[in-house]
Structure 1
């Protein structure tokens, strides 16, 4: 298979992948309304390269300045037409550059309403400045990295902090530095390509983990079956407590039976001995000579 065919296959796979994408757009005062429209056009150009649908890519948008403004959730627009219209209607709400609050909001809410459990999670942060709370932003970025969300950062102009953006993103290759707002269009193709590669790596890693878990489960089941078979060959049937108790019961009955026989035999012997003794006594009494009665004195004899 040629390289071009592989590339086309990967593009098609990327377009149809199940992905939840949240755009976190800077609408601070330094951006301005005109440049904010350029950010929205860039957002539309990116999402147009995906297949939008309930089983493919879903897109949500949050904007931030001094505070965070929720625009629409991931499941609000399930086809390309309504999504592009919704992007066009995102308002410009000026203020400061509170990246800390924006990241915390994404952590807590953005991927939950309308998010899909098994979909890949991608966050795209676009800003022209740097936070006025570096420590808080670092904490939120660390918390965000613990999740399975892939973070891409696009920094525009010379007021950004590239190290801060690299710290927020999922790596140096996920951070893009753009000269000015007019140069955003030049990053569309590269940005889409990098997102597709990251998406592909995530999917491949998940498939590998799933296959590894299946292999482990199969191996454990096979080992358990072999162990059980080996035990059944080498070990005799277990002796249960109830069998021991039944054995004692049988022994008790046997002993009682023997004692009863002996007792009855002894009683019989005693009875026979008593009968013989009585019979012999009776015989002796019969054989003993009877004593003659004394002679009676004639009448008239004197008595002494």
Structure 2
């Protein structure tokens, strides 16, 4: 009988503890709030507090464990999203972004690709162009393998556009294997950011799955922060939590993220960086071959009147009809805007890209590229942007 009672007490104790975990897992943490509000709701378990005693969550298991993992991604995702949105909100749109991606042996080729997906996803809602966001991507492993694959910060140019970055430069970054020379990666980032624009916002994203070697990275991280650089650190699986916490901007709980797997890392990225792509602006390119992938013929895809362009926000190549026309820009698609409308030729699209003139009695002759091409019809005179009927004398 005594054994039976002890068993019952043990069962009740386990059940109570599980109910506490369920309460933590389903606390409403998706609302926009600061770190301290999250902490008070029982979610401090998910943050990097800068020490190694942090409890490790399993990647798979019971429904309870899965719900906790989902809650963890939601909590950290909301915090990260808040800080990324702050970068996007720069009044002058000038942002310098440096990515340090771990190419060490413990990462492996597949997980290295996950790091590059993070770069691609984070850039999804940044306008990358000469006058907006500049990007640098540095892959690091051993001291002789700290490679600046992409650098739009040191040498800004009109040719450094988002389409080339996503379609050509990122895919050319190679996985090497080796050590984890974090200090060398930070030094390389520091050299790059010295060329950043004076009034720009500057941020560095460090991803690693292990402990650094080859020297202490903390002094360099400290100098970068003193120079106004915001540092985000991501430790995956075996990261040195204290070192990553100390390298990150403060409060470290909001800028240092410890994930139990690359799968969890990708889930965080999807949660925090899911954005609806907007059309944005298009930059005409001199090389028409960039648009060869837009049609089955694989050449001469654009209309004879159109230009090959890059969506500096979407990162996609597109054929763009000239001002005064509308259409997809593909072969034989550019059409003259209807009489009484004009087009600035800024984006591809149907006839809705043609803007009506201010007055119903306006007309346009030939390709109209601005409101200045709107002219009043005969028997009307222009007064400001309106057309008024002439007084007709009777005889």
- Report TM bin, short chain: 0.5 to 0.7
CA distance in 2, matches of 1:174, 1:191: 13
CA distance in 1, matches of 2:243, 2:183: 11
Contact in 2 for aligned 1:16/1:51 (Cα 8 Å)? no
Which has the larger share of strand? 2
User: Is 1:155 aligned to 2:231, yes or no?
Assistant: no
SS at structure 1 position matched to 2:166: helix
User: Is 1:30 aligned to 2:113, yes or no?
Assistant: no
Query: What's the counterpart of residue 175 of structure 2?
Result: 92
Q: Which has the larger radius of gyration?
A: 1
Query: What's the counterpart of residue 132 of structure 1?
Result: 213
Query: What's the counterpart of residue 64 of structure 1?
Result: 140
Q: 1:165 to 1:11 in 2, by over 3 A?
A: closer
Contact in 2 for aligned 1:33/1:92 (Cα 8 Å)? yes
Compare relative contact order (CA 8 Å, sep 6+) and give the higher one, 1 or 2. 1
Q: 1:16 to 1:188 in 2, by over 3 A?
A: farther
- The offset of 1:153, in angstroms, is 0.5
- The offset of 1:117, in angstroms, is 2.0
Contact in 1 for aligned 2:87/2:95 (Cα 8 Å)? no
Query: What's the counterpart of residue 185 of structure 2?
Result: 102
Query: What's the counterpart of residue 265 of structure 2?
Result: 184
Query: What's the counterpart of residue 166 of structure 1?
Result: 245
Equivalent pairs counted in the alignment come to 183
| Runs of 4+ residues deviating >6 angstroms | 9-12
Contact in 1 for aligned 2:98/2:203 (Cα 8 Å)? yes
- The offset of 1:88, in angstroms, is 1.6
Q: 1:189 to 1:116 in 2, by over 3 A?
A: farther
SS at structure 1 position matched to 2:125: coil
Q: 1:112 to 1:138 in 2, by over 3 A?
A: closer
Contact in 2 for aligned 1:16/1:50 (Cα 8 Å)? no
- The offset of 1:192, in angstroms, is 4.8
CA distance in 2, matches of 1:10, 1:128: 27
Which has the larger share of helix? 1
CA distance in 2, matches of 1:21, 1:65: 20
Query: What's the counterpart of residue 111 of structure 1?
Result: 193
SS at structure 2 position matched to 1:186: helix
Contact in 1 for aligned 2:88/2:126 (Cα 8 Å)? no
SS at structure 2 position matched to 1:131: coil
Query: What's the counterpart of residue 162 of structure 2?
Result: 80
Unpaired runs of at least 5, structure 2: 1-31, 33-81, 275-395
CA distance in 2, matches of 1:190, 1:38: 15
Contact in 1 for aligned 2:100/2:206 (Cα 8 Å)? yes
- The offset of 1:11, in angstroms, is 9.4
Q: 1:11 to 1:27 in 2, by over 3 A?
A: closer
SS at structure 2 position matched to 1:48: helix
Cα deviation 1:79-130 (Å, max 9, x = unaligned): 22111121121111211011111112222x12135x3222111100011111
